[in-house]
């Protein structure tokens, strides 16, 4: 079965075409600047050269039409006909309390996703554009939605409620939902397989650290806590996001600086984190280079980032009364040798012993970076959110076929 995985943003759309017979990626690419002048489609076939095409793409329906066209292109294509695509899987950021797992799209599912627009105003409407565009271009082809929040729906009330008036939860669904659920679930399963131990017997802390960053505490295979909240702003310090701050800063700064709600929201989401402290970049590579070059603000940004991450790991070990496995994943987690080293050499009280040599290896495979005598296993596991979407889509569509 061939499955198209789509991750739609408001002005962009990423895609991967999977052959599920061997879970290989036949082609991947992205459309950028949808709705702007000179939109660009970048397409990478499995065994071919990357191609880019600049044209006017005013909306998502056209974007998907162009993607289908290039997937079937004589020279750059990887399939003969779009009929070969038997299902489409979509990434949706917010599933609220309505979705505890992936589902096949129908009218009711679309209505529920629309009701959640208010909780993810930037992301969910964009995902809906992607779903409707795929439906228009591929009528009758089953569509599946996979939610970033679903894995964390197992959190208990004590973990997901905020200590604020409960009416806000009842009326406006204000609670913690988390994000990166597909990644946390995926790397926890790969880690358990790697260790040849049942995930149900392990206390794990998974650290998904990329541009956005979150931690999950996973006990008996389910998420018991995670660092992102109502929105992906809570928790760790990130590239451009503040993470946890005193909420009283918001009214105080709004008052002092005469900021609007949108301005303060933009300050915390787009102009904070590594970028704000370093003054140079939100990218961990540039922060690390700045630190090595002796730039004090880059050093401070790195130290704050590491300190806040380490405190979260400690708090999740406390939440679970121990930790058996720590997993690092995503851009920073998979690649920053120095960040992992700084974090792990300060977790000796938990029984973490780092294998410095193993930590320095660069590889795209799951690997152990803790020493043989370490009480806590520490692994680096490359994440693959698209594969999770493809697998869930495959499973649900096969059930659909069986039940017809």
Residues in touch with ligand ADP (CB under 6 A)? 210-212, 239, 283-285, 288, 330-332, 335-336
Binding residues for ATP: 14, 208-212, 283-285, 331-335
| Cβ-based neighbour number of residue 315 at 10 Å | 14
Cα–Cα distance for residue pair 149/203, rounded to 1 Å = 20
Closest CA to 312 of 235, 229, 245, 231: 235
Closest CA to 203 of 194, 211, 186, 191: 191
Tally of residues, the chain: 404
In angstroms, what is the minimal distance from the CB of 385 to ligand ADP? Answer: 8
| Cβ-based neighbour number of residue 356 at 10 Å | 12
Binding residues for substrate: 91
- By beta-carbon proximity to ligand ADP, the closer residue of 283 and 341 is 283
CB neighbour list of residue 107: distance below 8 Å, 6 or more residues apart: none
- By beta-carbon proximity to ligand ADP, the closer residue of 25 and 320 is 25
CA distances to 152, 220, 239, 390 from 275, rounded to whole Å, are: 29, 37, 6, 34
Cα–Cα distance for residue pair 151/217, rounded to 1 Å = 12
Active site residue 148: yes
- By beta-carbon proximity to ligand ADP, the closer residue of 33 and 112 is 33
Closest residue to bound ligand ADP by CB: 331
CB neighbour list of residue 314: distance below 8 Å, 6 or more residues apart: 347, 350
In angstroms, what is the minimal distance from the CB of 382 to ligand ADP? Answer: 10
Number of H helices, E strands in the chain: 15, 14
In angstroms, what is the minimal distance from the CB of 21 to ligand ADP? Answer: 28
- By beta-carbon proximity to ligand ADP, the closer residue of 219 and 226 is 226
In angstroms, what is the minimal distance from the CB of 178 to ligand ADP? Answer: 15
Which of these is catalytic: 148, 225, 324, 392? 148
Cα–Cα distance for residue pair 24/158, rounded to 1 Å = 41
- By beta-carbon proximity to ligand ADP, the closer residue of 68 and 284 is 284
Classify residue 12 by burial, with Cβ atoms within 10 Å: 0-12, 13-18, 19+.
Answer: middle
In angstroms, what is the minimal distance from the CB of 341 to ligand ADP? Answer: 12
Catalytic positions, written as ranges: 148
């Amino acid at each position: 079965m061939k499955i198209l995985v789509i991750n739609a943003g408001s002005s962009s759309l990423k895609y991967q075409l999977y052959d599920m017979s061997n879970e290989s990626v036949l082609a991947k690419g992205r459309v950028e600047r949808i709705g702007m002048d000179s939109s660009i489609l970048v397409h990478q076939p499995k065994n071919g050269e990357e191609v880019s095409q600049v044209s006017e793409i005013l909306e998502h329906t056209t974007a998907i039409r162009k993607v289908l066209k290039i997937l079937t292109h004589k020279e750059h294509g990887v399939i003969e006909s779009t009929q070969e695509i038997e299902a489409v899987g979509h990434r949706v950021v917010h599933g609220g309390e309505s979705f505890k797992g992936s589902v096949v799209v129908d009218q009711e599912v679309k209505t529920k996703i629309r009701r959640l627009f208010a909780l993810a105003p930037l992301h969910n409407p964009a995902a809906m554009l992607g779903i409707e565009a795929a439906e228009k271009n591929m009528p009758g082809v089953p569509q599946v939605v996979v939610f970033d929040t679903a894995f964390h729906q197992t959190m208990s009330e004590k973990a997901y409620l905020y200590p604020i008036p409960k009416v806000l939860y009842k009326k406006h669904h204000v609670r913690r939902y988390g994000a990166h659920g597909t990644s946390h679930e995926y790397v926890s399963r790969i880690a358990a397989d790697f260790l040849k131990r049942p995930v149900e017997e392990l206390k794990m802390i998974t650290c998904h650290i990329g541009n956005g960053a979150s931690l999950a505490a996973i006990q008996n295979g389910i998420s018991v806590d995670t660092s992102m909240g109502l929105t992906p702003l809570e928790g760790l310090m990130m590239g451009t996001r503040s993470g946890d701050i005193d909420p009283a800063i918001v009214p105080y700064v709004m008052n002092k600086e005469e900021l609007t709600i949108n301005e303060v929201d933009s300050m915390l989401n787009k102009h904070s984190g590594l970028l704000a402290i370093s003054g140079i970049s939100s990218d961990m590579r540039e922060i690390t280079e700045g630190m090595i070059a002796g730039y004090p603000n880059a050093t401070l940004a790195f130290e704050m980032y590491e300190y806040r991450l380490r405190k979260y790991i400690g708090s999740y070990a406390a939440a679970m009364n121990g930790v058996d496995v720590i997993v690092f994943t995503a851009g920073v987690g998979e690649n920053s040798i120095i960040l992992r080293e700084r974090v792990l050499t300060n977790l000796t009280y938990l029984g973490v012993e780092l294998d410095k040599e193993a930590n320095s290896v660069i590889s795209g495979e799951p690997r152990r970076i803790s020493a043989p005598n370490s009480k806590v296993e520490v692994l680096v596991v490359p994440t693959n959110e698209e594969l999770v979407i493809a697998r869930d889509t495959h499973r649900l569509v096969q059930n659909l076929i069986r039940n017809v």
